[in-house]
Structure formats: C-alpha cells, structure tokens
C-alpha cells in the first residue's frame, strides 16, 4: 500500500495549476461562458498541446497512459479554476468509451481527432426516464440496407453543444448498443442548453437518423457494462473536481475572513467563526479521503468499484453542500455577487450533485453494495492480483 | 499509488486470522459484545492480554528491543483490523499505548527495565493522572502539588476521570512542582504507586451504569524521586508527546468498521413482528451514510500511515480531523443501534459487568447493551482532547 503521490504526479498537478492560473482566471472564464459558443477554442488547443486531452489513453492509441490518479489531480485543478470546457464529457466519458469499445479504425479516427484537439465527442446515453437505471433506454436502432436508422430523444447531453460527433445509445434487437453519429447527420437536431454552472449541454432529437454499418461501436461487447464503467470513471473524476472546489472555497473563505473587519477586528478573530471554518476543513479532509478511494477503485471489480465511487459521490455530495453553504454564509452578502467566484463554485458543486446520478442515487447504490456483509466489513486494503 | 497488500502482508494477515480463530474464545468475545465502555472489564482484558503475551503480540507498536513486535505500520494496521473483526476485548489502553512510549522515550534505564516488562505481562495496569476537577481542557491549570523532600516527593491533591484506577496498580501523573514562570513550566511527570499510603480512590459511576472512572485523592503520598520521568519541569513536553499517542497513534478504522458490521448484524435480525431494520429505507440511508464516513476516515488513516512510512508527518489538520470524525462516527453508530430498540429502550439492566448475567440470544444481548453503549459513546468527543480543542488546533493552523 502506498498513498503518496510520485514526483511525476506532483509535477503534473503543479503544471495543471500553473496553466489554469495563468490562462484561465475567473474573469477569463466569465468571458467564455458569456460568449456565444461557451467554449474557448484556443484554450482547448492549448490543453491538447499540454497533453491533457491525451492523458487517460493508452500509448498505442496515441495517449499518454495516465491512470486514475493523474486524472484525479487534473480534475482537482479543473474544479478550482471552474473550467467549462468539456474535459470530463469529451475526454473521460466519450473518449474512454471509444477506447474501450471502438475498433482500430474508430479509435484512430475519433481518439485521433480528440487528442489533437480537433474533435470533441459527446456521449448521448441517458434519457428523461433513465434516472439511474442505465438500461432504461427508449431510443431505437433498426437495421437498414447499408447500416442503421436511429430514433429517440437524448436530453441534456453533457458537452453536447460543443460536440462534432455523438456516441448515441439505442436498443438494437433488444440490446443497448452505441452508435457513432456525426453532429451534422440528417434528422438530428441539437438544441443548445445553458446549465446551472455556466457550462453547456444539448437536447438531442434523432428522427430516423441514418448511419452506416461502421457506426456501430463494439458490436460484440457488453455495451451497458462499459457505459456503467465509464460513468464510474466520470463519477470518480467528479469527486476529485468537487475536492478541488471545496479546497478553493475553504481558501477563499479563510482569506476573506482574515481581511474583512467587523466590530473592530477581522472576522477570523471570532472563535465562533473559527470553529465553523475548522468544521469546513474537516469536511474538506474527509472529501479528499473519499475521492482518493473512488480514484483507486475505478479499475477494481464491480462491487468494489461501486463501493468506492458511489460512496464518494454520496459522501462528497453531502459534505460539499455544507462547505459551499458555509462559504456563502461566511462571505455574507459578498458571497452572493456574481463578481466573486464563491457563487460560481457553489453552483458548480450543485451541478455535480446532479450529474451522472444524484447524491441520493449514489447513496442508494452504495447502500445496496454494502448489504453484502463481506463488502461492508472488508478492509480497504486489497490482495495483490 | 495503490491499496494493495504485499504477498508477505497477506501471509501475515492469514497468520493473525488463524491465531485469533484459535485463541479468541467465545467467552472473551461475548464479554466484549456486552461491554458498553471504552475498555474491557479488567478481568476479561487481562485474560486476553495474557494470551497475546504468550504469542509475543501484546504490544504491536513497541520496538522489538523492549518486547514489542517490531512490526511495520502496515502490519500493525492489519493486525488491528483483524483483532477488531474478530471482536477482541479492548485492553491495549493507557499502559501499552500511552505510558510505555513515554518511558521508552524519556525514562532512564532502570525505569525501562523495571516497568516495561511488567506492562507486557499484566503485572502493572496503569491509570492516567492528567485531569483535575477544576482543570478540564485547560490541562496546564492543574493544582496537584509535589514538594521535594530529600529523595522523595510529597504529593497532595486530586486527579479525576482516571479510567480503571480502581483496578490499576500505578498512575502516571502530571503534578505541579513550581509556581514561577509560565504555568506549563512548573509541571513535572511522576509515576505513583497506587498502593501507597495516602491514596484514596472514589468511584465515579458513569451514565452508562458502569464504574469505569474514578477520582483519586493524594494525601501526603510519598513518591521516590527515582519515579520521576525526565527532569523537574519537563512534564508539559512529555504530556504533549503522550497526547500524540493518545490522539494519533491508534488506528480506529478497524474498530469503526467492526462496530458497523455488528450494527448490520443487529439490523438484519427480525424484530418482534418479523420486520427487519435493514429493509427500512430510512434506516438504510442513515446506515449507508455512516458507512461512507467510515470509508473516508479509513482512507485518511491510510494516507497518514503512508506519509509516516515515507518519513513524513500526517500534519495537525488531518490528525484532528480523524479524532473528531472518529468520535462522531462512533456516536452515530451507537445512536442508530439504540434506535432499533423501540419501546425496549425503556428497559434498563443495572447489573455490571453485563457478561456475568446468564447467556441470552445474541440479539437479546445486543439489545441489552445498546442503550448503555449509546450513553457511553458521548464520552468519545470529550476525552483525549475534546472536539472543541481539536477545532482550535485546526483553526490555529488555518487562521493564525
């Protein structure tokens, strides 16, 4: 067992933080979300140059072979800086699925473009009724002469408004499969949606969209299992993003209460407020522990993966809400203004709590897993494989 | 970065499991299940300690030269987890975990060779003499006085909340030897033989019905200078060193996990009417939340352990976080377990220790102890530096 970061990992963290500090301050971010597209193409291509877009992929696919820990460190920095570019949805979620399910040609084409910064794929899987039952999919694919015809609705596709290509799930002969659907396909309408955290998604409607036979992703694979695993990787990444935001809120609150003078002394000099900030720090520490467990569970067998990932999302959902609410309270009215990042962090945490499963969904999923007494009482240490 | 055990650690874990299977008998386990307090009834604890001593495993954290195991931190963690899973009586308290490290670090050769073996074989059981009736968390305000008279100190005053002092043979105590300078500077660390003339022990029954705590009075008690640890006036530094062991030196992940597993067993038993708490969504939501707390706390512990193993320091914020959360988790488990009782929460069994009562079914016995465990759990956030003191430590690091 070793839970210390390696020197390379610390270097990665430092470089990510430096890049975002120099190129992605709060003012810049506000300009991006106010722009028509809601994305900064220059930043995206700089992310490509820095290797961010290649980070999780295997070297044979043109990637850098980074693991969950590297992703986690990057996501902490993404959280701190409130990056709205679709790193999570394009790289981790859609890119991850293409790497797992795609043929050599599909990987070369989609991952190639993604890593180069010229393509931003998005996963369109969940539907209005899906909730947390990932197999509850109403969209359908039917065989046609030279491929398939897809119909259905995919609301709130994360990163959808930035996507040039969608991975759309639909049932084919009763089984959920994924299809590669270019954004300019006939019969596909994508409506841009603004999200609560300033980022964008799209409501997708597919009306008899024709795709070629080569659009089917992973014909023989257990697609649902891979989609679930991809969401778990994304959820672990969200847990780390939340940790980055919680740390940011903590630091901002400490800095603010040291400066803000009331009744003749800085707010930070009042014991009642000191203890509230100490309680925030306790929650930040706990969230860090949870996120680390999620990070180190994404490649574990399914029950252990669920325990780590959904446990972290449930725990972090709860403590992050408390930290964010306290940060607002301790900032007083200032925490309410859009000029300060406090509210933006608050809103992003709220969005995270409602992305890829709510806090309650994850608690329920975790609760099911720990009904197995062996899972509940088992050590977090694992036997060598 | 990973959570993997080495092949050797797996072998070690299996060896520990086998030992526990053979030596931790049902009687010991039942006594522990029925114990509402932090430490086992001494009769039970000493019996278990003797078995561990025969195996050479009584002091996992001690270096080998003093009769400890010399295990790595990971091995100690694994040992602890296995002991908790198996339901061992908790008795590795003040003697092994607190005074022994102090004697090793600050004691002279004579003190080491006399006291350490007596701790291992159970000949001495130690009580803590820190708190005083008027001092509370303001430990340095202590008033118990030791006046040097030739080659002995004459001690007068009183210590309170001394756990198991009525069974202990000795007490380590902080006493005032000077009033000059800062109040911390006049404090000295001494070892008191509790059989000495002038020692009176008054039991304090706690709200869980058990006699665990005591007030100890000293009336012209003579303590040889040779039983002083370190120099006169060095007591405060020694006390701080000791508190590090009390707060951070113990793993709790195993204990919390074991308590949770026990709660799960209890909740899986059909209640009168056939209903099971584990099927109640409200119960399960609360239970699952606590389980995520345990996982997070366990990860903080493992991270701290990793840092120490790599030659670093866990830092005061994570250490205080673990102390605070550990207490809250124990309290929430105890509270949730007691919530299962229904109207049986009104019944109160006065007899102590509970394991002397005739055997009942496991669920009946769990129900018998649940209220007492809940009451006792409130002490978790008070002893060893209250949660408010821990918040002060965190605030100091963050804000000043």
Using one digit for the tens of pLDDT, what is the confidence trace for A72-101? 999 999 999 999 999 999 999 999 999 999
ipTM confidence: 0.95
CA distance B271 to chain A (A): 18
Residue B247 has pLDDT above 70, yes or no: no
Judged by CB atoms closer than 8 Å, whether chains meet at B10 and A366 is answered as: no
CB-defined contacts A:B, below 8 A:
170
pLDDT classification of B314: cutoffs 50, 70, 90:
confident
Judged by CB atoms closer than 8 Å, whether chains meet at B321 and A314 is answered as: no
Please give the average per-residue pLDDT across B136-141, as a whole number. Answer: 88
Per the residue annotation, which of B246, B301, B325, B366 is the catalytic one? B246
pTM of the model: 0.95
Choosing among A71, A253, A381, which should be mutated to test the B contact, i.e. which has the most B CBs within 10 A? A381
Please give the average per-residue pLDDT across B140-159, as a whole number. Answer: 97
- Return the pLDDT at B240: 86
Among the partner-chain residues B260, B278, B318, the one whose CB lies closest to the CB of A285 is B318
Judged by CB atoms closer than 8 Å, whether chains meet at B302 and A380 is answered as: yes
Residue of A nearest to B390 (CA): A278
pLDDT in tens, A139-172: 999 999 999 999 999 999 999 999 999 999 999 9
Contact residues on chain A for B261, CB-CB shorter than 8 A: 373, 376-377
Choosing among B292, B310, B319, which should be mutated to test the A contact, i.e. which has the most A CBs within 10 A? B292
Residue of A nearest to B80 (CA): A379
Contact partners, residue A294, CB within 8 Å, separation at least 6:
A235, A236, A239, A240, A308, A309, A311, A312, A313
Judged by CB atoms closer than 8 Å, whether chains meet at A376 and B307 is answered as: no
Judged by CB atoms closer than 8 Å, whether chains meet at B399 and A257 is answered as: yes
Mean pLDDT of chain B: 94
Residue of B nearest to A292 (CA): B299
Residue B246 designated active-site? yes
């Amino acid at each position: 067992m070793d839970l210390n970061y390696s020197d390379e990992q610390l270097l990665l963290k430092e470089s990510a933080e430096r890049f975002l500090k120099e190129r992605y301050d709060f003012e810049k971010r506000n300009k991006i979300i106010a722009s028509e597209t809601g994305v900064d193409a220059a930043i995206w291509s700089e992310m490509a140059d820095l290797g961010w877009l290649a980070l999780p992929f295997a070297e044979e696919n043109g990637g850098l072979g980074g693991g969950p820990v590297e992703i986690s460190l990057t996501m902490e920095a993404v959280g701190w800086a409130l990056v709205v570019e679709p790193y999570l949805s394009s790289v981790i979620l859609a890119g991850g699925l293409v790497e797992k399910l795609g043929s050599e040609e599909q990987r070369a084409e989609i991952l190639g473009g993604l890593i180069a910064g010229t393509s931003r794929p998005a996963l369109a899987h969940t539907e209005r009724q899906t909730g947390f039952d990932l197999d509850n999919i109403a969209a359908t694919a039917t065989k046609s002469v030279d491929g398939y015809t897809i119909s259905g609705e995919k609301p709130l596709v994360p990163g959808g408004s930035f996507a040039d290509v969608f991975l759309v799930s639909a049932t084919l002969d009763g089984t959920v499969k994924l299809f590669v659907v270019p954004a300019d396909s006939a019969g596909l309408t994508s409506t841009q949606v603004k999200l609560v955290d300033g980022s964008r998604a799209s409501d997708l409607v597919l009306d008899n969209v024709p795709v070629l036979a080569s659009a089917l992703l992973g014909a023989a694979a257990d697609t649902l299992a891979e989609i679930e695993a991809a969401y778990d990787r994304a959820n672990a990444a969200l847990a780390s993003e939340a940790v980055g935001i919680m740390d940011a809120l903590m630091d901002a609150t400490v800095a603010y209460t040291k400066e803000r003078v009331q009744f003749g002394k800085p707010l930070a000099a009042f014991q009642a407020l000191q203890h509230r900030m100490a309680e925030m720090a306790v929650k930040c520490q706990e969230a860090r522990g949870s996120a680390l467990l999620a990070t180190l569970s994404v490649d574990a067998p399914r029950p252990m993966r669920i325990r780590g990932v959904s446990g972290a999302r449930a725990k972090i959902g709860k403590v992050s809400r408390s930290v964010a609410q306290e940060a607002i309270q301790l900032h007083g009215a200032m925490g309410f203004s859009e000029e300060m990042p406090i509210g933006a962090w608050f809103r992003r945490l709220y969005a995270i709590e409602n992305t890829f499963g709510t806090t309650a969904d994850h608690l329920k999923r975790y609760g099911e897993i720990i009904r197995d007494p062996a899972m509940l009482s088992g050590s977090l240490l694992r036997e060598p494989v | 970065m990973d959570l993997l055990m080495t092949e050797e650690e797996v072998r070690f874990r299996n060896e520990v499991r086998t030992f526990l299977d053979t030596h931790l008998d049902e009687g010991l386990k039942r006594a522990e299940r029925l114990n509402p307090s932090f430490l086992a009834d001494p009769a039970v604890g000493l019996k278990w300690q003797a078995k561990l001593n025969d195996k050479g495993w009584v002091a996992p954290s001690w270096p080998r030269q003093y009769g400890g195991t010399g295990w790595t931190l990971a091995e100690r963690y694994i040992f602890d987890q296995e002991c908790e899973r198996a339901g061992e009586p908790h008795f590795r308290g003040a003697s092994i975990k607190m005074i022994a490290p102090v004697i090793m670090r600050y004691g002279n050769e004579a003190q080491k060779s006399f006291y350490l073996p007596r701790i291992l074989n159970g000949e001495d059981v130690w009580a803590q003499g820190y708190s005083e009736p008027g001092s509370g968390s303001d430990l340095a305000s202590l008033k118990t006085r030791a006046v040097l008279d030739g080659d002995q100190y004459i001690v007068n005053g009183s210590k309170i909340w001394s756990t198991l002092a009525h069974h202990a043979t000795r007490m380590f105590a902080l006493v005032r030897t000077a009033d000059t300078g800062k109040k911390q500077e006049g404090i000295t660390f001494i070892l008191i033989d509790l059989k000495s003339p002038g020692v009176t022990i008054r039991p304090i029954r706690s709200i869980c019905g058990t006699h665990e705590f005591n007030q100890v009075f000293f009336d012209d008690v003579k303590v040889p200078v040779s039983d002083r640890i370190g120099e006169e006036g060095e007591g405060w530094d020694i006390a701080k060193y000791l508190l590090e062991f009390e707060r951070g030196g113990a793993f709790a992940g195993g204990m919390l996990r074991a308590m949770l597993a026990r709660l799960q067993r209890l909740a899986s038993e059909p209640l009168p009417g056939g209903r099971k708490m584990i099927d109640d969504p409200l119960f399960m939501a609360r239970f699952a939340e606590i389980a995520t707390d345990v996982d997070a706390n366990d990860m903080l512990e493992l991270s701290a352990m990793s840092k120490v193993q790599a030659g670093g320091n866990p830092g005061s914020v994570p250490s205080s976080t673990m102390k605070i959360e550990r207490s809250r988790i124990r309290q929430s488990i105890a509270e949730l377990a007691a919530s299962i009782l229904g109207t049986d929460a009104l019944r109160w069994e006065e007899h102590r220790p509970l394991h002397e009562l005739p055997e009942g079914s496991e669920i009946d016995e769990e129900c018998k102890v649940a209220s007492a465990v809940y009451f006792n759990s409130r002490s978790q956030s008070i002893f060893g530096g209250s949660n408010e003191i821990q918040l002060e430590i965190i605030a100091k690091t963050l804000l000043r």
